Structure 1
Amino acid sequence: MALTAPKRKRRKSRKKKKAAPNRLRFALRAGVIAVLGLFGASLLWAGYYRLAPPPGTLLMFQRKLSGDVIEHPWTPLDEISPHLVRAVIAAEDTRFCLHNGIDFEAIDKALEESKNGKRLRGASTISQQTAKNAFLWNGGGWLRKGGEAWMTVLIESFWPKRRIMEVYLNVAEWGDGHFGAEAAAQARFHKSAKDLTPNEAALLASVLPNPHKWRVDPPGPYVRSRSYTIRSRMDQISRDGLDACVWKSK
């Protein structure tokens, strides 16, 4: 009996040594499968939205849960005023047609301005905002930022700029539960998005950074001043053809 006890202990020790590598291999295999699954799902999701209108966003769902009434009519880009296209480019991303989704030049400029004592401004592109609005949630954190970067790469790879702009203008929030250009135009100016004037488009674009803080009806001094700046940029964008990628790509 005294001789058998050490053998049992050695057998148990060997089993433990074998079990540890097995668990590690299982965890690695599960991790690889999860990553590949997320990769495939994101490709399918981006591919679906390339062809079909997004039925809604996580932000819309959150608003509904809080009791808000959501207005979200889908409007093809051909039925949205080109003035609004130029206005949001002027307001949010003047290099929209020049970058591949993430504007490193704008990021470097924002960081340099911050070093010189200026307030750190955002350098998020329209492509990044589209990726966040259509696929993700509001807020910070590395998880959301990483997801935004990945989905930005995907849509810039598989969508033309025209489609990015079309989705952006249909999922952007203009406050009071109004999502998309058509809902905003009807609520603020009682007209279709295709009939917006340059000044009305500039006013709508001027509140996009914070539609709950800034109002179009009526516009305060800051919004009115910002809309004048956007309006002048719109003319420059038109002259320089900085919105050409929107109309050329199909």
Structure 2
Amino acid sequence: MILARVLSRALPMLSKVGQQDVKYLAGTRARHSNGSKMIVYSRIAPSDAPVIAEHMLENFYKFEPFGLALGLTNAEVETWFPKFLDEVLNYYEPVSFMAKDTETNEIVGVAINIIMDLANRSPPPSMKPYLNKEKQPVKWQIVTFLEDLEEGVDAIKFLNMDASKTNKMFGCLFLSVSAKYGGKGIAKTLIRESEAEAKQLEGVTIATTDTTSQFSYLAFQKLGYESIKEVKYLSYKDHEGIPIFEGRDKLLGVHTSARVVAKKL
């Protein structure tokens, strides 16, 4: 597993995943919500990086419970994240999706994904080259935690897949939905559209992600993902033996564990 070398993630907006009908208009995937409003889904292009980064800073990092429990602020993210996101969106095949409210033209949700070629390509972009351990200590802690979470994980073996026929893996890196659009099935649709796009690529047979909130875990579980590994926050110690989540149980709330989850595509 190499997702942790790419980023950290959590899905605070996914306490409700609604059931809505998806309609197709002139080749554009769209979903009705709240009567007259229409949510349109489309692939994210590398040129969209600036507006996607703006959405993430406003709707993801400000509310993500895992990071907030450790004291992460936008000040540790905003200077380097747009450049990192640009690198991610320019890596390999474009399989990331966004959701827009056609009434306001506002981006209301994004799924930032990546295809990992296990045999023929260099590793995907890493977050740590963008970080300074002294200037972004909390983000450094988060990335290190996720590296530890994924240590020893073998999704191919867990899913009983043939390693010789599994040379590419789909990874959901970020999933973000604006708070006021929660419970409308947007997150669920973003994941499904992303998976469908990934399945069109030869050799992509596994989907995987890290879930750092209870809500995100339940959302992916409903879509068929299975837990490979779980780490309890309050039992985790960093590389210096420090229990970094100690005394933060109230801030974590129901989000008590991080998990690596995966499923066959």
- Give the TM-score range, shorter chain: under 0.3
Higher helix share: 1
Give the alignment's TM-score, normalised by structure 2.
Answer: 0.27
Bigger radius of gyration? 1
Higher strand share: 2
